[in-house]
Amino acid sequence: MSGRVYAKYIICCFMSLMVFGGMIDASANSPNSAEAFIKLLSGNLRFNSGLSTHTNISAKRRKEVTTGGQHPFATIIACSDSRVPVEILFDQGVGDLFVIKVAGNVCNTDEIGSIEYGVDHLGTPVLVVLGHTNCGACTAVATGADVHGSIPDLIAPIRPALEKVKAAHPKLQDKALVSALIEANVWQAIEDLFLRSSSTRERVKMGWVNVIGAVYNIETGTVKWMGTHPEEESFLTRLEKELREQ
């Protein structure tokens, strides 16, 4: 590795810690949650700087997680897109991440069940909803593409995000519209999860898990961290009230 690349990596790590330290809700900030987030952050910085360590991929590690069981430190829902290789882009290995892959990183019944397994049963202190640039599922929704088979049902959860983007930015078109939709769809997936998963809501309220949105750039290899949902607290409070009144 060149000295310049290594220096860039160190500076990025330091700056990211300064910036993202404040992104994690203090009330939900168990040491594990912060540590898990920093492991993802630094792993992605290693990856996009060409400094991946490829740890935890040995036969010893496989034996360890077979006999000792799995103890992943993060649950991640990402798009099925082949250009989004989750363990690789976070420079993690066997048994490190509990990953759900589905086109458009939507939160529907199966995905929510899998997330609950990772967050509730395995107890990961971080959940990342990871969108990505050039997402085909979001592009199909933004452009009104003619899709067949089971795909319309699959991408239906993305449509409310498109409506929100269009309402907020009626003039957006083409690539700008798709980019805005990709971010809005990350927030939408988090909303859908909160709406339908009481155990996730409970764990967020207790400060046992941080739910973070992010978008992976398939060309640069960098992850843009969006933080927790901007309306997380009010959303959870409102939802609880509505559910009580039902």
State the residues that interact with Zn ion by CB under 5 A.
Answer: 79, 81, 135, 137
CB of 137 to Zn ion, least distance (A): 5
CA angle 212-214-219, nearest 5°? 160
> Taking the complex as a whole, how short is the minimal distance between the CB of residue 136 and Zn ion, in angstroms?
5
C-alpha span between 36 and 96 (Å, rounded): 10
- Minimum separation from the CB atom of position 228 to Zn ion (A): 22
Give 101 or 203: the residue with its C-beta nearer to Zn ion: 101
Which tokens in the block code for residue 102? 């589905």
- Whole-number Cα distances in Å, 83 to 28, 47, 241: 32, 14, 41
Decide whether 95 or 131 has the Cβ nearer to Zn ion: 131
Distances in whole angstroms, Cα of residue 242 to Cα of each of 77, 194, 195, 239, 245: 27, 13, 11, 5, 5
**Cα 187 from Cα 180, distance rounded (Å):** 11
Tokens, residue 166: 């269009």
C-beta atoms surrounding 100 within 10 Å: 23
Q: How far is the CB of 156 from Zn ion (least distance, A)?
A: 15
Given the complex with Zn ion, which of 97 and 137 has the nearer CB atom? 137
CA–CA distances in Å: residue 142 to residues 130, 147, 161, 177, 216: 18, 12, 10, 7, 19
Residue among 17 and 103 whose Cβ is closer to Zn ion:
103
Nearer to Zn ion, 43 or 131 (CB): 131
